[in-house]
Every structure is written in structure tokens, then in C-alpha cells.
């Protein structure tokens, strides 16, 4: 037990130490070299900007986070649904699945301007782009999870006369959970990217809009403050998923990560 | 696998109590080569898995499951997850699972082949003990001649390609048998007989 706590402390302690050293080096070199704040403000100026203008940051952060989470949730629901279809329908598996996989080659971000043309500069475009980029890794991971059933387990369930329905809920679903969470962790980061890019392209609010606006005004501290706020939010969202994962996938030691990338 | 109703026979038919086997049946319990436990279920939940699939009253069978675990000497681990158990313990859980719905036939497909030699001997003694408390017809497939002679009332020797029964040998050794039996001349005579039968089939 004690060993565990020590291990955990070391796991958190080292990255914190490194981050502190980087920030310190950044602060010192900016000051020593006399770099102008427009080019690169010291971390202290960024933190000051965050504290001073937290109202502005939060006003723009909320809509972005809201759309990110909404797009993410839709991608999880949709991804699992399509994965079930892939598992149980030969037509979907043989016809659509390869198309879905190959379509991964298209950088979905490049579709953002097209979405603006179709759905306008409002929330709809951001939401759809977030959904689109988050959807594929979710689908592929969930489908992998449903299909990667040990042949012996399947056989065992059949000797006890398990129905397809029972096999899905009692075996495939729990078996897929680690894969689904791996997909979720990829999807949440991609959903953020989707929303921000769409806000870059055309939007009147959101943290992506604020970053672009601050860039236009050459307000570099505000820009970095917005980026920092965004990163912290992204980390928090990721942390929430990882936390739920360790609770839901209790049977797996935490280091055993499974699943594939995508996006 | 055919007796379990998982594979259809290429010719002929299999009958259990005069009924043709056309698919998985309730009165058959199966133990596979690997324990195939569900990693997200505790030992007790794994043992009760067939009860859930067969939609039998869970409460009633919970006691039976605990009795089986006690008999297999793993009742104190009923709340543990499979990854916390050793290989031999996992296979015991699998045996309890195969027995929980009280089937009349127990099929065992090389159940101890993944275990080390010492655990394997212990498991054979354990199985005999479990069987004496729960009299079932056990069909035990093994590649170990010693194991076959030690456990069986009747050994059927099978040749490969095509898989046919080439010899049948009743084992009359008194029960309960202990591992010490394997040192006896009578036991070794039986083992020699079986080995000769197998070697003869290879020579053809």
C-alpha cells in the first residue's frame, strides 16, 4: 500500500518538476534576452492575463466546451451504434466498414470550410465537425472491442445455451469496454480540435475565435492565456474519462491500455 | 466438441439417453483446455454464469455454487477476480462452473494440459474427490497416458486421422486412488498396455 502511494507520488512528481523547470527556464530566458511580450511573453505575464481577464476567457470557453462535450457524446452514442451494426450485419461489415476505414485518409479538418458553407457560421458547424472527427476512432475502437472475443469464451457461452442477446450484453459489451474507453480518450481530444478549427474558420464566439482575435490584435499574452485555459480544460475532460474508465474497467490493471488510434 | 453439440458429426450421430445431439444441451457441462473465465466477473459470478444464461433461479443456485467452491477448496476466493488466481485455481473455478447447473455429463477437453506437472497431479486427485461427491459421467480427453489410467474407469484409445477408437481398457484399480498408485506394478502394466496400443497405431 505504502509502496503504491510512493509510486504514485513519483509518477506525478516528476512531470510536475519538469514542467516547473521549463516554465522557470522560459521566464528567465525571456527576461534575460529582453524578448518583447508581443513575440513571447513570460509565463508570469500569461498567468497575469489569465487572472485579469478570466471573465472574457470563461465567456468564450463555455460555448467551446459545451459543443465539444455535445459532439463527443453524439460520437460515442453514434460510434457504438454503428459498431454494433458492423458486428452483427454482414452488409455493413463488408460494405461500409472498409469505406469507413479508408475514409480516414481524408483530413476531416479540411472539410471545415465546406461545413460553414452548408450549415453557416453558427454552433451547428462546430458541433458537426466535432462529431465527425470524434466519430471514426470511436466506431473503429468499439467495433474492435465487440469483435475481439476469445473464441473459447464464445464457445463456452454456447455450451450453456447462451442466446445472441445474452452473449452481446454479458460478453461482448463488457469485453468492448476497455476499447470503448480507449476510443473515448482519442475522441475527446479530437472533438476539441474539431470545435477550435471550426471557430478559427468562422465564428463570433468560442475560445478558438478568441485565440484568433487576440492574434489579430497582437495581444500575445491573451492568446497564450486562451491556449492555456483550453489545454487545462482538455486535460480535465481527458482526466474525467480516465477516472470513469478506471472505475468501469475495474478488472484491468491500469497500465494495460488497449485499442487503436485514428482520426 | 461434437458431444457438446458445438460441431456436427461428419458421419453418424451422437445420442445421449436415446436423444440425438443436435445442439448444445442443458445436461452437459464442459471444461475447456483453458479456464475461459470472464475477467470482469468474480469467482462466484463466473460459477453462476451458466445459471444466468439458462435463466435458472439465481438465489437457489448461489448456495450450490458456494458448496462447489468449498468442495474445490476455493470458497475463500469467491469474491476475487480471475486475474488474482493461479492457473490451477482458475481451472477449479471452471470445473465448478461446469457442474453448477447439475448436468448429468461432464465433458473435459484436456483440462489440465496448461498446468505444470505437480499441479496437474494435484488436480487429478482433486477431480477424483469432486467426482466422488458429485457422481457424473465424465468424458475426459487427455494426451497423458498416466492421467488417463489414473482417473478412468474405462480408457478409450483413439487413433488420429481418421479419429477412430482403436482400443478399450477397463481400469479396475480401487478408489479413492492416490498419486502413490502410479508407482504400482499394476498401474504401470496398464500404462504400458495403453502406450503399446498408441504406438502400434502410429506404426501403421
Collect all residues of chain A within an 8 Å Cβ-Cβ radius of residue B36. 150, 152-153, 155-156
Q: Are residues A209 and A119 in the same domain?
A: yes
Q: How confident is the model at residue B2 (pLDDT cuts 50, 70, 90)?
A: low
SS3 B53: helix
Q: Are residues A9 and A92 in the same domain?
A: no
Q: Are residues A21 and A45 in the same domain?
A: no
CATH of domain B15-203: 3.40.50.300
Interface residue B53 vs chain A (CB under 8 A): yes
- Indicate whether A258 belongs to any domain: no
Q: Are residues A19 and A54 in the same domain?
A: no
Integer CA distances (angstroms), A191 to A66, A74, A141, B143, B190, in order: 11, 10, 16, 55, 70
| B161: CB partners within 8 A, 6+ apart | none
Q: Residue A143 is part of which domain span?
A: 41-248
- Rounded average pLDDT over B10-37: 78
* Yes or no, beta carbons of B36 and A153 under 8 Å apart: yes
- Indicate whether A160 belongs to any domain: yes
- Indicate whether A260 belongs to any domain: no
- Rounded average pLDDT over B11-22: 71
* Yes or no, beta carbons of A251 and B81 under 8 Å apart: yes
| B69: CB partners within 8 A, 6+ apart | B43, B44, B47, B75, B77, B78, B93, B96
Q: Are residues A82 and A156 in the same domain?
A: yes
- Indicate whether A124 belongs to any domain: yes
Question: For residue B164, what pLDDT is reported?
Answer: 80
- Rounded average pLDDT over B186-195: 88
Q: Are residues A24 and A132 in the same domain?
A: no
Q: Give the chain B residue whose CA is nearest to the CA of A161.
A: B24
> For chain A, what is the domain count?
2
Residue B1 has pLDDT above 80, yes or no: no
Question: For residue A254, what pLDDT is reported?
Answer: 57
Cα(B90)–Cα(B86) distance, rounded to whole angstroms?
Answer: 6
- Rounded average pLDDT over B92-106: 89
- Rounded average pLDDT over B42-49: 94
Cα(A157)–Cα(A163) distance, rounded to whole angstroms?
Answer: 8
Question: For residue A37, what pLDDT is reported?
Answer: 86
More confident residue, B133 or B25: B133
Interface residue B24 vs chain A (CB under 8 A): yes
User: Which residues in chain A come in under a pLDDT of 70?
Assistant: 1-3, 254-263
Q: Are residues A11 and A122 in the same domain?
A: no
Question: Do B194 and B149 form a contact (C-beta atoms < 8 A)?
Answer: yes
Q: Are residues A96 and A223 in the same domain?
A: yes
- Indicate whether A22 belongs to any domain: yes
Question: For residue A263, what pLDDT is reported?
Answer: 36
Question: For residue A256, what pLDDT is reported?
Answer: 46
Strands B154-159 and B164-170: antiparallel
Q: Are residues A143 and A19 in the same domain?
A: no
- Indicate whether A82 belongs to any domain: yes
Cα(A12)–Cα(A233) distance, rounded to whole angstroms?
Answer: 19
Q: Are residues A103 and A20 in the same domain?
A: no
Beta strands in chain A (DSSP E): none
Task: Please give, rounded to a whole number of angstroms, the shortest distance from the CA of B32 to a CA of chain A.
Answer: 8
Q: Are residues A101 and A30 in the same domain?
A: no
- Indicate whether A80 belongs to any domain: yes
pTM: 0.82
Q: The domain spanning residue A222 has which CATH number? A: 1.10.3720.10
Q: Average pLDDT over chain B, rounded to whole?
A: 84
Interface residue B22 vs chain A (CB under 8 A): no
- Rounded average pLDDT over B167-192: 84
Amino acid at each position: 500500500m505504502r509502496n503504491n502511494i510512493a509510486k504514485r507520488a513519483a509518477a506525478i512528481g516528476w512531470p510536475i518538476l519538469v514542467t516547473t523547470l521549463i516554465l522557470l527556464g522560459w521566464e528567465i530566458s525571456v527576461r534575460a534576452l529582453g524578448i518583447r511580450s508581443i513575440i513571447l511573453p513570460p509565463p508570469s505575464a500569461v498567468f497575469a492575463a489569465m487572472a485579469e481577464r478570466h471573465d472574457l476567457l470563461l465567456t468564450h470557453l463555455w460555448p467551446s466546451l459545451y459543443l465539444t462535450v455535445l459532439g463527443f457524446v453524439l460520437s460515442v452514442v453514434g460510434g457504438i451504434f454503428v459498431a454494433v451494426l458492423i458486428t452483427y450485419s454482414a452488409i455493413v461489415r463488408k460494405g461500409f466498414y472498409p469505406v469507413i476505414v479508408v475514409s480516414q485518409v481524408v483530413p476531416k479538418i479540411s472539410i471545415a470550410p465546406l461545413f460553414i458553407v452548408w450549415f453557416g457560421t453558427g454552433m451547428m458547424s462546430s458541433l458537426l465537425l466535432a462529431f465527425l472527427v470524434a466519430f471514426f476512432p470511436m466506431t473503429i475502437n468499439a467495433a474492435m472491442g465487440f469483435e475481439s472475443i476469445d473464441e473459447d469464451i464464445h464457445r463456452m457461452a454456447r455450451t450453456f445455451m447462451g442466446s445472441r442477446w445474452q452473449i452481446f450484453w454479458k460478453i461482448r459489451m463488457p469485453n468492448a469496454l476497455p476499447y470503448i474507453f480507449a476510443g473515448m480518450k482519442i475522441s475527446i481530444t479530437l472533438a476539441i480540435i474539431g470545435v477550435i478549427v471550426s471557430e478559427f474558420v468562422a465564428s463570433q464566439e468560442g475560445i478558438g475565435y478568441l485565440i484568433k482575435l487576440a492574434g489579430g490584435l497582437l495581444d500575445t499574452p491573451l492568446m497564450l492565456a486562451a491556449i492555456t485555459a483550453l489545454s487545462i480544460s482538455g486535460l480535465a475532460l481527458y482526466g474525467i474519462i480516465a477516472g470513469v474508465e478506471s472505475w468501469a474497467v475495474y478488472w484491468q490493471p491500469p497500465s494495460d491500455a488497449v485499442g487503436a488510434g485514428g482520426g | 466438441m461434437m458431444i457438446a453439440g458445438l460441431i456436427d458429426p461428419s458421419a453418424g450421430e451422437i445420442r445421449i439417453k436415446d436423444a440425438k445431439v443436435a445442439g448444445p444441451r442443458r445436461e452437459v457441462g464442459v471444461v475447456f483446455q483453458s479456464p475461459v473465465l470472464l475477467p470482469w466477473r468474480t469467482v462466484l459470478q463466473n460459477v453462476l454464469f451458466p445459471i444466468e444464461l439458462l435463466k435458472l433461479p439465481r438465489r437457489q443456485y448461489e448456495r450450490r455454487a458456494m458448496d462447489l467452491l468449498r468442495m474445490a477448496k476455493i470458497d475463500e476466493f469467491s469474491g476475487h477476480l480471475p486475474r488474482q488466481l493461479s492457473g490451477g485455481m482458475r481451472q477449479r473455478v471452471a470445473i465448478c462452473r461446469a457442474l453448477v447447473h447439475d448436468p448429468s455429463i461432464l465433458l473435459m477437453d484436456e483440462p489440465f494440459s496448461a498446468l505444470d506437472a505437480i499441479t496437474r497431479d494435484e488436480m487429478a486427485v482433486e477431480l477424483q474427490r469432486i467426482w466422488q461427491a458429485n457422481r457424473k459421467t465424465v468424458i475426459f480427453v487427455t494426451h497423458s497416458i498416466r492421467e488417463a489410467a489414473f482417473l478412468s474407469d474405462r480408457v478409450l484409445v483413439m487413433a488420429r486421422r481418421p479419429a477412430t477408437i482403436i482400443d478399450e481398457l477397463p481400469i479396475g484399480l480401487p478408489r479413492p486412488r492416490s498419486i502413490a498408485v502410479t508407482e504400482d506394478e499394476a498401474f504401470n502394466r496398464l500404462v504400458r498396455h495403453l502406450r503399446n496400443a498408441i504406438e502400434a497405431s502410429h506404426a501403421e
